Amino acid sequence: MTNPNSFWQKIDAHLNNVAFYQTVFSLPFAYMAAFLAADGKPDIWVMFWITLTIVAARSAALALDNLIDLKYDVDQPRFKGRPMVAGSINKKDVYILIVLCFAVLIGSVLQLDPICIKLLPVAALPFIIYPYMKRITCFCHYVCGVAVAMAPAGGWVAVTGEISWPMIVLCVAVALWIGGFDVVYGAQDEDFDKAHGLHSMATALGAKGALLLAKITHIVTLAVFIYLGILFNLGFMYYIGVLVSAFVLYYQHRIIHIRGFGAFTREYYMRNGIVSVAIFLFTLASVYMK
């Protein structure tokens, strides 16, 4: 007889392996794109299928990333608690999860505008190639950003059935936000990456140079978000969301400057999610106050 505790422990291990809580980085922007595209009135079923699509896509992406990087992760002291490194789940389990996620992804996309399934290979490409980018280029962080930016792109196309300039602007903002954050995250691994022949902005510019680049990237991110508000003629509520995001990003950079990489805890990581939630909620408020 199967031990029910063992079953739920494996489910929990899978959720940890794909960092399910990090869905907060992508889903709010997918919702934001859908609400903007539908002028505040997206179809509830479209929102449901968008949700399943994003959750399935990023779960497959994270599982694939951890699978491909396992040979490096086992040597990384920070990752000793990761499920695959600790042995909580094995490669076979992860392969099964990836297949299931892709099945849900394809099934969900088929429920949306027909153009979505045609564009799926394009949208999936960044998260499929991302795990290999650290072996090739220091710009890997921004490939990660592009992968996450496929969430708002999907939300927009699911509603409008087309690619347009406002959607591209939103995707650029999200890609820069995530890319800059990933530069900060990767900066703590400068020595490890050099020892293993991996590429990052830290190996190219040094940790200090990488952190400076991340700051510049986030300043540009805020400028793009401001431009987005102008494009959609959003009200003052939207800009409050941008201001909240600016304070969060400033605090994130400041605390690393003061405390060093020891400040890079799970709480630090998740605090970055305030940006996506704040921008989405204040966008929603602005749309409904027009």
- Asked if 225 contacts 173 with a C-beta cutoff of 8 angstroms, the reply is yes
What global pTM score does this model have?
0.93
Q: What is the pLDDT of residue 5?
A: 53
Helices (H), 161-200: 165-187, 190-195
Residue type, position 104, single letter: V
Task: Please state, in angstroms and rounded to a whole number, the distance separating the CA atoms of residues 164 and 160.
Answer: 9
Task: Please state, in angstroms and rounded to a whole number, the distance separating the CA atoms of residues 263 and 265.
Answer: 6
Residues of the chain with pLDDT under 70: 1-5
Residue position matching structure tokens 């994270």: 62
Q: What is the pLDDT of residue 3?
A: 56
- Asked if 184 contacts 218 with a C-beta cutoff of 8 angstroms, the reply is no
Distances (CA, A) of 61 to 32, 55, 67, 176, 220: 22, 10, 10, 19, 27
Q: What is the pLDDT of residue 14?
A: 81
Task: Please state, in angstroms and rounded to a whole number, the distance separating the CA atoms of residues 255 and 246.
Answer: 14
